[in-house]
Each structure stands twice: as C-alpha cells, then as structure tokens.
Amino acid sequence: MFKELGPSMIILPIIAVLGNVAISKAFSSAGISPTRELVALSLCNVVGSFFSSMPVTGSFSRSAVNHASGVRTPIGGFYTSALVLLALGLLAPYFQYIPKAALSAVIISAVIFMIEFEVIKPLWRCSRRELLPGAITFVISLAIGVELGLLLGVGVDVAYLVYRAARPALTVSKLRTTNGTDYILMRPIHSSLYFPAIEWVRTGISKAVAMHGTAPVVLDCSNMHELDFTAARGMGALNKELASSFVPFFLLKASKEICVILKESTNSDFHTIETPDDLEYILDNTASIDDHRLQVTIPLINAQNKVNGGDAMTLDGSGGGGGGHL
C-alpha cells in the first residue's frame, strides 16, 4: 500500500477527516464537534475492517443528492444500499450505455449550491488575506489534484499564522505624566509572545529609544498571557541592554505567570508596576532621583578638588591653571 500510494497514505486520512467535518458543517443546522466526527469516522473504519469493508468517509456528492432529495434521517442509507445492490445485480450490463456526462450532470446539479460565490465580495471588502488560501486551493485542486490543493491552501494559511506570531503588532507612544515626566509606552496587541517575535519586539524598542531618547520604557503586558522560555531569555537580554544604557525598563500589569517565567528563565529581577497610578508615581520618582544625582555630582567633584589643593574644574573644562576636562 505504501509503495502504491506513497505520501498519499498520510494525506488521504487528513482529507477524509476534513471532508467529513465540512459535510457536517454544510448540512447541519446546529453546531457540531469535530472531535466527535473524528471519533465516529475512526470507529467506523476500525469496526468495518473486521468485516472486509473498504475505508469509508463522508461523500460530498451523495450527501448533496440526499439533501436535494429531501432525506432527513440516516434511514435514507438503507434505500440507497438497496438500490445499489439491485442495480449491481440486475442492471450492471446496461450501465455502459449511460453517458458519463449524464452522471456528471447529476453530481454537478446536486453540489452546485455548495459553492458560495456570494462570500467573495464581503471577503474582498473585509479580509482580502483570506481570499488567497481559498483561491490557491480552488485553482490547484482543479488543475492538479485535491490533495495538493488542500496542502498548499493549508500551508499558505499556516505561513500567515507564523508570520503573525513572528511580527506581532506593536504600538509605540511617547506619553507624559501629570508632573511632566516623559516615557515610552510599548503595547503588544497579541496575547502571546513566542520566540519568533522576541527579536522583532527588541528591535522595535531599540528604535523607539533611538527616536525618542533615553526616556523610561514601559512595556504594557495587560494583553500578554503567554510567554515561552526563549522569549523570556530575550526579555532578559533586553533588560540588560537598557540597563547598560541607563534606560529604566518597567513591565505594566504583568501577570503572575509572566513574572514567574521571567524570574525562573533569566535569574534577574524586572521592575513591575500594577496600576497606572503606580506608574506615574514611580516614573516621577525615577526622574527626580536622576535630577538629584545631576545636581549633587558637581559640588562633590569641586569639593574633592579643593581638598586636594588643585584648581576646581567645571563642566566645560574651564578653571584654574590645570585646564582639565571633565
């Protein structure tokens, strides 16, 4: 079987499950459980294998014909089975006279209503991105085969999801507290931050610092609920880079799970802030401490020079005969 089917042995069960779920969604008025559909289909094939049954799955064409004929219960399967057995026993020699075009017309007439042309226009207006996987699946399925069409369509959609995870939306704002302290607020839109996205976030923060100066950086974690190990290590490296540049870095509204992951993976402490009021208080105190350091440094240097008996140096390098630079 593997020699004859090759990779199709892996693709065919996936197509069978997808087709079964799609049929259930198309002909069911209530919500369905894909897990239950998978279990039911699996049990049918496992039990049927003990009675030399062929592998079975749902059929779009037969389901569409039954729906168009008014069938509402599984009892319709008994009538279909009886007609098939009768046709095989009595009418098989005459099947060769039925044109294939007539059989195709029956199937096409039954399934034509399942093609939803009306969704193309709303998709074009609302989400053009979703048209690409559907168009690729449709064209490749007609030109080459259903297996390759489904694989390419799913692959394009998965590639977009990976791109979204690697390039999360990140808003950057330069704000100011009521006391006039400037700070940079970074707000990720997505609820998770995984390893493909950490370099993107670090680059965004570095660009914001280069653009807005060495103002404190606040990362809003209110929408962030998941963080993996590699992303946490990247956050630790970012914290060290900002600390070496004397840029304060704070986490706003970080959950306990996020804090535990950061602590265990980096062995370093992050400055966390619970509420916006605490943010303003801490930022204002941080700015006042920095201003205080700038004010007291020069008198200490001048006093030290006086104690040593030398000429006092100023910030611009002017002073007594020493003429040094600071």
pLDDT grade, residue 309 (50/70/90)?
Answer: very low
User: pLDDT band at residue 30, thresholds of 50, 70 and 90?
Assistant: low
Give the confidence band of 235 by pLDDT, cuts at 50, 70, 90: confident
For residue range 246-296, list pLDDT tens digits in order: 888 888 888 888 888 888 888 877 888 888 778 888 887 765 444 433 333
Report the predicted TM-score, pTM, of the whole model to 2 decimal places.
0.58
Does pLDDT of 50 surpass 90? yes
Rounded CA-CA distance 7/55 in Å is 17
Pick the CATH number of 170-294 from 3.20.20.10, 3.30.450.90, 3.20.20.70, 3.30.750.24: 3.30.750.24
Name the average pLDDT for the chain: 78
Output the DSSP codes for 29-95.
Answer: SS---HHHHHHHHHHHHHHHHTTTPPP----HHHHHHHHHHT--STTHHHHHHHHHHHIIIIIGGGG
What percentage of the chain exceeds 70 in pLDDT? Answer: 87
CA dihedral 100, 101, 102, 108 (to 10 degrees): 110
| Predicted pLDDT at 314 | 35
Between CA 181 and CA 215 the distance in angstroms is 9
pLDDT given at position 325: 37
Per mean pLDDT, which range of 6-20, 151-165, 222-236, 277-291 is the poorest?
Answer: 277-291
Strand 182-188 and strand 170-176: the pairing is antiparallel
Q: What is the mean pLDDT of residues 81-95?
A: 86
Domain locations along the chain:
116-166, 170-294
